[in-house]
Structure 1
């Protein structure tokens, strides 16, 4: 395959893999129409912010002290660039967050970003450091006998390389002697090629350690539903929003997400049970498996020498997500609380610091135990109280409205909802047990959004009356009701400029009031798109690493999700795919209504395609012409018409879609 074609295959397929790491897009130019311009905080929003400020915990300076403790240095140049000179990360992007809280930012979130903006190399304990603020995640650095043991090498190779350069400049140059991935999300492994060469790994000189099932979960969470997740992630992380008092205010557990190159080197060693130990470059390590909490494949690391617990993403400076707004498998809040309790029992009494792969550490044995216990109770309350109300017959929306965080837990800043919230997490717990249906028959088979909106707008008396009522709700500060009314007006007629502008204004005020950074991002991203249209799509131009690591079975299962049964037209046949360079043969069975893929030859196949896997990916994901790929080396034996009928029945790779409008 020509290099250009190979790169195109990688880019297009990776758009379905590295979904949430797409770079933030440039903010749209100021609108000529004043109705489409961002608005200041309303009087109702300013009053709501004052009420929040009055209810916040007393500031005792501990977080500020912990966030600054051990500071060594940061990079002299705040701009991290890729090989072409493009800026992929700006260390100073949030330097302006200082002083009094603007009315357009929740006071609690303003405080959080003021702490998260601190960047550089920080000493945690003897032989343990972290690089923080160089990406949405942290890189932990452990001094081994011969080199650096790195835990979670950030999201992209550029930021990881810059972080390692800072470490070497400040602590003395040493090779990387091992890498540990704490879990299966890209911000914890994507920068690996920025810190180690694959040749060092394949030669056995640098082990790469990960929790069991890491590769499968790294692919499965993003491949099958990758396009939908990618589009939704633009809202969660504020794609298109510039940092600012009326714009993006981080992600709650970090700032933005770097826009460089995502890479992956497959693990050489996996950990499957709590209590397993390793001695890595002379450093004793103990592991706790916490899979099913924040990620389906995740571990924590305890360092008995310096008495440091790395609680990867199980405990951070915020309540986390039981179900992320971008979409994921629903997490088990009960198990999450159980893992925190297990960590407390195993490590609380013998840890002098707890660090995580986001946010800042906490120091002192009593503080470590207190945080683990408090966050354990936070998740347990979410779980138990949701079930208590659920078992009384309350619906997800009713539970989310009624469930209030206990004052004793709200007194700890790290329990606040800067990332996850009690509202959407309660709905996630309900979904974990009972699914989407709330048992109200009216919600069993409702009209879809556009048809429902048309009927609702008609019942109220037409779009003019709906907009008038929406504006009245806006004036009263009831932005939730305003959004519901105005969203109906937009879905009934997306060309209605007055409805779009008013809905954007109502979303904007809710974004300003949100304590959760990702709630803020979603409201403000929707407002921006209503005013200016979509400004881009969640694509990625990263390397082939993720695709190379994803099992062929999973890729073919993803292809099956694009079969259009109508185009299949009842055809029943079998086709074999042979990939000589991998020693793999896959059998495709078309049943007439579905596509089944198995990692063995299909008996009685009517056709066989033989080619390197990258060519088959071009055929199946890019829908490149069969004849063109034959010129590049793909071989077709048997019934060519059956192959072409199969390919014709595949939908193209999906692109961006509307969210705030139909």
Structure 2
């Protein structure tokens, strides 16, 4: 028997269901979660809103799931899609319009009017210019060896800077721009239904405000946006990831606690900066308060507080980390070779790395394993140890970011051992951890 999405939301809030990631695997079917509002779960959720002249979409999901989105929406309501909103330009929010565009062209009517923030245009250009880079980092982040980053996107028809209102068929959908996970983020608000669409500004897990491989995030602005959303007194919050939040009190609590989470990371990091601390010192000094770490919707299952600290540092202090040796560093291989020579060889470093890893000192073990691999890039014995160190590290991690990077590092060494490239090895070893 299927459990309704809203029932799952209640169970999650009451502590009867554990969060697993930004994608809730038990949400597998579309459901009308409010009068005239359909939720279509996916890696990025999409929402259809009924009005007198057809439907409006808020987010459209991945291109990979576009056919499923079209099927579920049209089975619910076969009316024309008149508008679609991109909460922001990430590919899991902008890929699902192809079938709806084709329907419009086949029936001789206008395609859906796509509305987005004006910075989406620059994002799409950047994605095309850095397609290779984005392919590599997203393969690594999601452990998906066959992923190819798109270079072409359905462009918006209307862009705006601060606010925009869609009024059609008796529907009023208010859109407001906020910087947070991205610089092109849009929040949707249905004032008559008191339904809030925060996009990725509320994920159901710790905010994605640090992502090590992506461009600048904006934790300060994000917290401001969260407190503004809390002031709306929404009765239902439908994020584009995770589980809905039901009830005005719970919505307000979730938004305000998430704001507090970001604010404390920002405040502590800036305090460290003002004290003259280095980046590494700062990373080890900043802590999330215990009362926040216990909340189910602030678990570090996708991003981590440590990475948010780095993004705050990058925003306020630039890239210099306070270690003068890092200002103009030697090549990694030269430094590693010198340390290996002083230590009795790369294998000595590798062996010590394994000892530390098995003793639970994973951070230090990774430093030594990396030095060993850099000093002996073709040594299979060294890379056997390096692979084991990173494998042990990966199973200790909870976040998508960390497990993706450490698993990739493991695969690099297994590729050296097998005489294959990283992608081949990643494809053969990629597995849930």
**Short-chain TM bin:** 0.7 to 0.9
1:474 aligns with 2:379: no
- Give 1:445's aligned residue: 328
1:520 to 403, 406, 410: 403
**Normalising by the residue count of structure 1, what TM-score does the alignment of the two structures yield?**
0.58
Measure the CA separation in 1 of the matches of 2:246 and 2:204.
13
- Give 2:206's aligned residue: 319
1:412 to 295, 312, 320: 295
1:313 Cα deviation from its structure 2 partner: 0.8
Matches within 5 A, 1:369-380: 369-380=252-263
Q: 1:115 and 1:213, CA in 2 relative to 1: closer, same or farther beyond 3 A? A: closer
Q: 1:528 and 1:201, CA in 2 relative to 1: closer, same or farther beyond 3 A? A: farther
Measure the CA separation in 1 of the matches of 2:284 and 2:212.
18
Secondary structure at 1:153 match in 2: coil
Matches within 5 A, 1:247-286: 264-274=153-163, 276-286=164-174
Q: 1:296 and 1:419, CA in 2 relative to 1: closer, same or farther beyond 3 A? A: same
- Give 1:145's aligned residue: 52
Measure the CA separation in 1 of the matches of 2:413 and 2:348.
20
Is the contact made by 2:21 and 2:242 (CA closer than 8 Å) also made in structure 1?
no
Secondary structure at 1:196 match in 2: helix
- Give 2:281's aligned residue: 398
Measure the CA separation in 2 of the matches of 1:153 and 1:402.
40
Q: Comparing both structures, which one devotes a greater share of its residues to helix?
A: 2
Measure the CA separation in 1 of the matches of 2:409 and 2:221.
34
Matches within 5 A, 1:135-284: 136-156=43-63, 158-169=64-75, 171-197=76-102, 199=105, 204=110, 206-220=112-126, 222-240=127-145, 264-274=153-163, 276-284=164-172
1:505 Cα deviation from its structure 2 partner: 1.1
1:230 Cα deviation from its structure 2 partner: 2.5
Measure the CA separation in 2 of the matches of 1:147 and 1:452.
64
User: Could you list the per-position Cα deviations for residues 541-568 of structure 1 after superposition, in whole angstroms to 9, with x for gaps in the alignment?
Assistant: xxxxxxxxxxxxxxxxxxxxxxxxxxxx
- Give 2:195's aligned residue: 308
Number of equivalent positions = 411
Measure the CA separation in 2 of the matches of 1:207 and 1:408.
44
Q: 1:443 and 1:67, CA in 2 relative to 1: closer, same or farther beyond 3 A? A: same
1:354 Cα deviation from its structure 2 partner: 0.6
Measure the CA separation in 1 of the matches of 2:308 and 2:40.
30
Measure the CA separation in 2 of the matches of 1:211 and 1:475.
49
1:213 Cα deviation from its structure 2 partner: 3.1
Q: Taking CA–CA contacts closer than 8 Å with sequence separation of 6 or more, which of the two structures ends up with the larger relative contact order?
A: 1
- Give 1:336's aligned residue: 222
User: Could you list the per-position Cα deviations for residues 47-66 of structure 1 after superposition, in whole angstroms to 9, with x for gaps in the alignment?
Assistant: xxxxxxxxxxxxxxx99731
1:261 Cα deviation from its structure 2 partner: 7.8
Q: 1:236 and 1:390, CA in 2 relative to 1: closer, same or farther beyond 3 A? A: same
1:384 to 267, 284, 288: 267
1:143 Cα deviation from its structure 2 partner: 0.9
Measure the CA separation in 1 of the matches of 2:99 and 2:11.
26
Is the contact made by 2:128 and 2:151 (CA closer than 8 Å) also made in structure 1?
no
Measure the CA separation in 2 of the matches of 1:63 and 1:285.
22
**Normalising by the residue count of structure 2, what TM-score does the alignment of the two structures yield?**
0.87
User: Could you list the per-position Cα deviations for residues 226-271 of structure 1 after superposition, in whole angstroms to 9, with x for gaps in the alignment?
Assistant: 4333312221111249xxxxxxxxxxxxxxx8x8988633222223
Is the contact made by 2:141 and 2:405 (CA closer than 8 Å) also made in structure 1?
yes
Is the contact made by 1:190 and 1:263 (CA closer than 8 Å) also made in structure 2?
no
Is the contact made by 1:191 and 1:264 (CA closer than 8 Å) also made in structure 2?
no
Unaligned runs of 5+ in 2: 425-433
Q: 1:464 and 1:528, CA in 2 relative to 1: closer, same or farther beyond 3 A? A: closer
- Give 1:534's aligned residue: 421
1:68 Cα deviation from its structure 2 partner: 7.9
Measure the CA separation in 2 of the matches of 1:113 and 1:429.
22
Secondary structure at 1:120 match in 2: coil
Q: 1:227 and 1:262, CA in 2 relative to 1: closer, same or farther beyond 3 A? A: closer
1:409 Cα deviation from its structure 2 partner: 1.2
Q: 1:268 and 1:416, CA in 2 relative to 1: closer, same or farther beyond 3 A? A: same
- Give 1:65's aligned residue: 8
User: Could you list the per-position Cα deviations for residues 177-215 of structure 1 after superposition, in whole angstroms to 9, with x for gaps in the alignment?
Assistant: 221111111211122213223748996463221122322
Secondary structure at 2:115 match in 1: strand
Measure the CA separation in 1 of the matches of 2:352 and 2:30.
53
Secondary structure at 2:385 match in 1: helix
Unaligned runs of 5+ in 1: 1-61, 70-106, 242-256, 538-662
Measure the CA separation in 2 of the matches of 1:225 and 1:263.
12
Is the contact made by 1:240 and 1:535 (CA closer than 8 Å) also made in structure 2?
no
1:127 to 29, 33, 36: 36
Q: 1:431 and 1:260, CA in 2 relative to 1: closer, same or farther beyond 3 A? A: closer
Measure the CA separation in 1 of the matches of 2:149 and 2:262.
34
Q: 1:202 and 1:405, CA in 2 relative to 1: closer, same or farther beyond 3 A? A: farther
